[in-house]
Amino acid sequence: MTTQTPLGAGEVIVGVENVSKSFTGAAGDELRVLDDITLQLRAGEIVALLGRSGSGKSTLLRTIAGLIAPTTGTVRYRGTQLNGANPGTAMVFQSFALMPWLTVQDNVELGLAAQGVPPAQRREQALRAIDLIGLDGFESAYPKELSGGMRQRVGFARALVLEPDLLLMDEPFSALDVLTAENLRTELMTLWGGDRFPTKAICIVTHNIEEAVLLADRVMVLGANPGHIRAEVPVELSRPRDRRAPAFAALVDHLYDILTGREPDAQIPEPTEATPTARPLPTASVGGLAGLVEIVYANGGRVDLPDIAAELNFEIDDLLPLVDAAAMLDLVLVAGADLTLTPTGKAFTTANIQASKKIFAEQVRRRAPLVRTICRALANSADGNLRAGFFLDLLRRGFSTQDAQQQLDTAIDWGRYAELFDYDTDTDQITADPNSDLHHQRVA
């Protein structure tokens, strides 16, 4: 077993100082993605950036790489402020990002060629990296001939051949099947603990709590909208790490509590009073959140979320949007990692389909801010019809274009199921359901 490098023992490779990043929204206003982030990445450590959707993890990683310039604040590589790409970093992407017309060896040599390394030296270094990452024998293969795991190995080799001080990884295992991802994580840790690993530090972006605990010496937990550091959690566990160990499970639970708990002094409005931007809709289908409520009911009305995730072979993070949606609609109560069924949740999951729909309709109309806004707007319209683009334009003032569309799609899904309104893709019209009182209601 190897023990982690003591925190602060290594030299500072990259320093991020009071970095904020904003983009201009579709309406011309500011969309802040990162807010006042300060952190140091040191030699001899693996740091995980852990956060949910909207926390700016990937934007922060690209800022560290020098691919995105901060709006305010500075990023320094070995004390020198970046004014472009960071010369001490290399990146591994989630999507592999290989050139399909190039062989494995040619893909690995790309970065060296860009640096002007002579062909003979490029070949020697590339073959060494290919051997290190376990792809010996596949030098002349093309990406289409490789499995997803092997393609990602090429991505690792392409980054490691540059011998960067800092290896940046943007959810590098999330596109792989469970067994392949686990195998690659294990091999990466074996390489990290050996003498041949050509990089001094690793920074990995993940939304997977267990992955962060398995790999990292420090976990930086990011909050969302805009991205900011909520907590810095040391992982004081020897390697290799055992998922079944009580200390491992306790750390997972602790990180889960941080991710899902309210921040100190945070003023979060109740769903019944919040605006659509103050309380965004979780990305969850009706069937998904209904299934979660059914599971809680089947387990006596109370469950431990990590236990349920393990039984279903899902990551906890995959279930979080369903948990958020069920809590928003007052179908479950959340306390740390415990979910408890509410009386409304019990009525919803035990009723027949039509009665269950009525309960759902009442809850989303009261407690889902964007659905409530759409209902009120339709009730105030001349004929119970409004273009979806009207709501999309409003949402873009508080969300990116992609997130605004996702919010509207979720609201339409919930509203359709509740039979509150319908949506015609051909005309882009949202229409009050004629069987709901929205069709005739007018607000004085």
* Residue whose structure tokens are 């990590």: 306
The answer to whether 298 touches 350, Cβ cutoff 8 Å, is no
pLDDT tens for 352-377 read 999 999 999 999 999 999 999 999 99
Q: What is the mean pLDDT of residues 229-244?
A: 91
The predicted structure's pLDDT at residue 94: 79
Average pLDDT, the chain: 86
Q: What percent of the chain has pLDDT over 70?
A: 92
Return left, alpha or beta for 289; rule: phi > 0 is left, psi -120 to 50 is alpha, else beta. Answer: alpha
The answer to whether 200 touches 207, Cβ cutoff 8 Å, is no
**Among the ranges 60-74, 137-151, 252-266, which has the highest mean pLDDT value?**
60-74
Phi, psi of 429 (to 5 degrees): -105, 135
pLDDT tens for 92-151 read 887 778 888 988 899 998 888 888 888 888 888 888 888 888 888 888 888 889 888 888
* Residue whose structure tokens are 């792989």: 176
At position 56, the amino acid (one-letter code) is G
The predicted structure's pLDDT at residue 369: 93
pLDDT tens for 183-206 read 888 888 888 888 888 889 999 998
The answer to whether 50 touches 207, Cβ cutoff 8 Å, is yes
Higher pLDDT, 301 or 274: 301
Would you call 259 exposed, middle or buried from its count of C-beta atoms within 10 A (0-12, 13-18, 19+)?
Answer: buried
Element (H, E) at 92: strand 89-92
Sorted by sequence, the CB contacts under 8 Å of residue 47 that are 6+ apart come out as: 39, 41, 201, 202, 203, 204, 216, 217, 218, 219, 220
Q: What percent of the chain has pLDDT over 90?
A: 43
Q: What angle do CA 101, 107, 111 make, to 5 degrees?
A: 130
What are the strands, taking DSSP E only, across 240-344?
A: 302-304, 332-335, 338-341
Of the pLDDT bands very low, low, confident and very high (cuts 50, 70, 90), residue 8 is very low
Q: What is the mean pLDDT of residues 19-29?
A: 73
| Spatial distance between the Cα atoms of 81 and 146, rounded to a whole number of angstroms | 40
